[in-house]
Structure 1
């Protein structure tokens, strides 16, 4: 039996052509990152905000929650980054985008398929030694043995190879790879953006939970104080030193404070449950772990925000929007290439072996097909117009995202600066309210003031202390919002995937 070697004539030409597609031009627009007008500095600034170098800003933002000095918050954020379900979903989308890129890159190479079948055949040998195989379709000349007019029955083995390759003459496939590469980078940036949002959400709910604990403690302390006042008033009434209306007003004030406690407890439980879900755990599982009331996280001595241009590098949502624009730009060329002719090379190789007769024959073919659309009523042209409109939408979305990012930073800077002033004022008000309540009680017991002044001062004290607790939590919430607006919570430099996408789009 002779083993054919000329089947390499099928594989080698196609393999040699695989690298030729890079020599052809790519039609369609080449992507250029759009220019955006950014201010040189932030308009909002204060003593608590300091513009620093990009490197320092990035280092401070990458793990910004470490600056708050709360080990329990650090632990919760670490657990959330490991167990959050939204983050897991974003990671799966990134895996999908990478597989899509692999799929797009595979389009550049030939497709090679193997086949095989086994059939019962009848071969009628000729005097020349060449035979025709019957019992199926005519497959051509064969090389075999046998006498004139002899008939041989047996089993025929027919393995085969088929190859095809579409030459990327006008760059449609390469534009598709550009789009898939940019999509991968955009999806990775969205993963980082999910991380930024998750860290900020965990920190915000943690601050909210600690705030509710503090406000609940304030309410219970005031309830105890008002209960004591009501008891004193009752004793004074029994001694003839107060009237019945004083007793009822004291009880009313006490019960009003008691009525506000359940709302604070509901808010506390909601914050605890939200934290548990963010960590990928069942609601209520953190109750014992967070039961001990603690102070709010500390504030950093200063905050390095960098300059507005740093936001384009630091915020992953802007990176995602820019990479999406690059992908949609590449797809314009991909759609445009479909309006031009396509060239496909194909080849096949079949090798038939008649087992009992020892005969074999090989059939090979190589061909090319050129095709183009002559008339489609403008369908392909409309597809290009549609994609051009999608590209324009992506451009507008990117530009709007930049403006929104600047707006968020400016608002957060103003809120953080105003929060310091608010806390200072409410702290002074709370100190004064406590002094006034203490003085009013002393005057009442001395008979130098009526009971109404005692009730008013106690209500003012409760309100001032609660407002102070709310303001201090709000200051930290505005700090968290500022860190999020600056893009804090992920690595400060683009990852290898994003950098590779940027390099490919510029080449």
Structure 2
């Protein structure tokens, strides 16, 4: 694929390799760092991805076993009754034991290509685990930022409503002096009530974010309320972030690497389907012994054996084998274009994140100036209103504008942190520490076979059941 030499988004001046390891720690928030570590250890999607890896590794071992010979043993004991013409019937026992062995010589590599495909499938699940961790770390950081954002918005609304209630109180006191009318009082109280109405919606979003954080940590909702209850500032990222070059996404993004491994797996399956069109050669052998006395097996018994090659040639299969190759090639094409799509999608994510982060920084600078100006205007308008120099409308307008500017500034701070998180996710930043795939954490007491306590009774019950 033709990739650009650098990102087109303006402001991405740092083309050095991005520092993706533990990127969230550069937000300098110990609580967030602790939440990320707990999420990696307890998240249920991560646990599912680990189970998928264990399944894929077991599948690889299963496929590899097809390259080795197989040996099976058998034994039997029967009670027979026979009669030679003119003699009395004879009842005797017959014991038999034997071994069978077979080994398919993988002449054209069908089994080897199957092992190869299974190995690639194992690598796909490993990359999918890394991709799950990228998503998990990003989601934990995003919901943490959102929770802090709505904490600040709730506190702002409460402060602003209190200030607006104070304005309404001053207005009521001026009614007796004939300076204002009841219409002015109603307007002041209505503006305070409008601001207070924002508080429940902010609290709802805050609770939703904390509940989602708890679920990401594999816990019940609201279990993090005690940890998050105390308000903290929104984490603020460093002023400069290295984005590298577009080619970095090929090696840094686990979803792109997984798509490439899926393409490799599909290609190996083409070779497996092609090999199935050629003859197969197997070596088979068996040895059996039989006797009328159990102690005579292998000694005074009848012993027979056989050994030799077996060739199987697919002469006519109705075009099924050729069609299987065409199916495998079509699937290869699907994964080829899926790989290209994943690369383009990754580049799109990075370009969007760079642009959004840069524009959010510019927006915050303007909103900070705006909030500072409206804060001064609000203070001056109250002083002039108390002195009778201006009417209530100017005071209410200044308070409303200040509340809006400060709300927008808080949201812009959260946007910067959110876009910083999105950029690191787009670049492929995730958990860089060790991940223990380990054994299954499930302790199942009902995994073994169920032995029949009374097989004969079960057969009788089956015989009595209506057909």
TM range (shorter): 0.7 to 0.9
Q: Which runs of structure 2 are paired with 1:27-46 in the superposition (5 Å)?
A: 36-46=1-11
Tell me the distance in 2 between the aligned counterparts of 1:239 and 1:376. 104
Secondary structure, counterpart of 2:104 in structure 1: strand
Contact (CA 8 Å) 2:134, 2:425: kept in 1 or not?
yes
The yes-or-no answer on 1:165 pairing with 2:106 is no
Q: Does residue 368 of structure 1 match 2:309?
A: yes
SS in 1 for 2:281: strand
The aligned counterpart of 1:100 is 59
| Cα distance, 1:223 vs structure 2 | 0.5
Contact kept, 8 Å, 2:46 with 2:132, in 1: the verdict is yes
Q: Report whether the alignment pairs 1:303 with 2:241.
A: yes
How many Å separate the matches in 2 of 1:401 and 1:355? 67
Give the secondary-structure state (helix, strand or coil) at the position aligned to 2:285: strand
Q: State how far apart, in whole Å, the 1-side matches of 2:275 and 2:235 are.
A: 58
Q: Deviations over 1:37-78 (max 9, x none)?
A: 22122222427x6222x4xx3xx2121011110000001111
Aligned equivalents of 1:50, 1:339: Cα separation in 2: 54
Structural mapping, 1:35-114, within 5 Å? 36-46=1-11, 50-52=14-16, 54=17, 57=18, 60-114=19-73
* Residue equivalent to 1:335: 273
Does the 8 A contact of 2:137 with 2:431 survive in 1? no
Cα distance change on mapping 1:361 and 1:258 into 2, 3 Å: same
Find the aligned partners of 1:318 and 1:265 in 2 and give their Cα distance: 38
Alignment partners' CA distance in 2, 1:302 and 1:152: 98
Residue 120 of structure 2 is aligned to residue 179 of structure 1: no
* Cα 1:88/1:431, change in 2 over 3 Å: same
Which one of 384, 389, 395 corresponds to residue 443 of structure 1? Answer: 384
| Alignment-derived partner of residue 387 in structure 1 | 328
Deviates more, 1:278-287 or 1:306-315: 306-315
Deviation at residue 301 of structure 1 after TM alignment: 3.8
Who is 2:250 aligned against?
Answer: 312
Q: CA–CA distance in 2 between the matches of 1:83 and 1:337?
A: 44
Cα shift at 1:112? 0.6
Instruction: Quote the Cα distance in structure 1 between the aligned partners of 2:398 and 2:420.
Output: 33
Q: What secondary structure is seen at the aligned counterpart in 2 of 1:308?
A: coil
Give 5+ residue unaligned stretches, structure 2: 437-467
Equivalent positions of 1:125-204 (< 5 A) are: 155-204=93-142
User: Alpha-carbon deviation of 1:414?
Assistant: 0.8
Aligned-partner Cα distance in 1 for 2:28–2:121: 38
C-alpha deviation, 1:439, in angstroms? 1.1
Q: Secondary structure at the match of 1:447?
A: coil
CA distance in 2, matches of 1:492, 1:85: 18
Q: Tell me the TM-score normalised to structure 2 length.
A: 0.88
| C-alpha distance in 2 between matches for 1:356 and 1:412 | 80
Choose which of 370, 376, 399 in structure 2 pairs with 1:429. Answer: 370
**SS of residue in 2 equivalent to 1:103:** helix
Could you list the per-position Cα deviations for residues 140-172 of structure 1 after superposition, in whole angstroms to 9, with x for gaps in the alignment?
xxxxxxxxx9x9976544221111122111111
1:456-503 superposed Cα distances (whole Å, 9 cap, x missing partner)? 11110110000000010001100000000000013399x9xxxxxxxx
Aligned residue pairs: how many?
A: 428
CA contact (8 A) 2:266 2:331 kept: yes
2:419 to 467, 478, 485: 478
The answer on 1:419 being equivalent to 2:360 is yes
1:258 is displaced (CA, Å) by 1.1
Separation in 2, partners of 1:166, 1:356: 35
Per-residue CA deviations over 1:302-329 (Å, capped at 9, x if unaligned) read 2122222221111100100000000000
- Measure, in 1, the Cα distance between the counterparts of 2:431 and 2:224: 25
Contact 2:236 2:416 in 1 (8 A): no
Counterparts of 1:91 and 1:341 in 2: how far apart (Å)? 39
**Matched residue SS, 2:228:** coil
Tell me the TM-score normalized by structure 1. 0.81
Q: Choose from 166, 177, 181 the match for 1:228.
A: 166
Whole-Å Cα distance in 2 between the matches of residues 492 and 384 of structure 1?
Answer: 41
TM-superposed CA distance for 1:284, in Å, is: 1.1
Q: Secondary structure at the match of 1:115?
A: strand
Counterpart of 2:407?
466
C-alpha distance after superposition, 1:424-461 (max 9, x if no partner): 01111111111111111111111111110111111101
Segments of 5+ residues of structure 1 without an aligned counterpart are 1-35, 123-133, 136-148, 496-507
| Deviation per residue, 1:252-275 (Å, 9 max, x gap) | 101111111111111111101111
Q: Is the Cα contact below 8 Å between 2:236 and 2:413 reproduced in 1?
A: no
Residue 244 of structure 1: how far off its partner (Å): 1.2
Check the 8 A contact 1:154/1:355 in 2, yes or no: no
Q: Structure 1 CA distance, aligned partners of 2:287 and 2:48?
A: 46
Q: CA RMSD in A?
A: 2.1
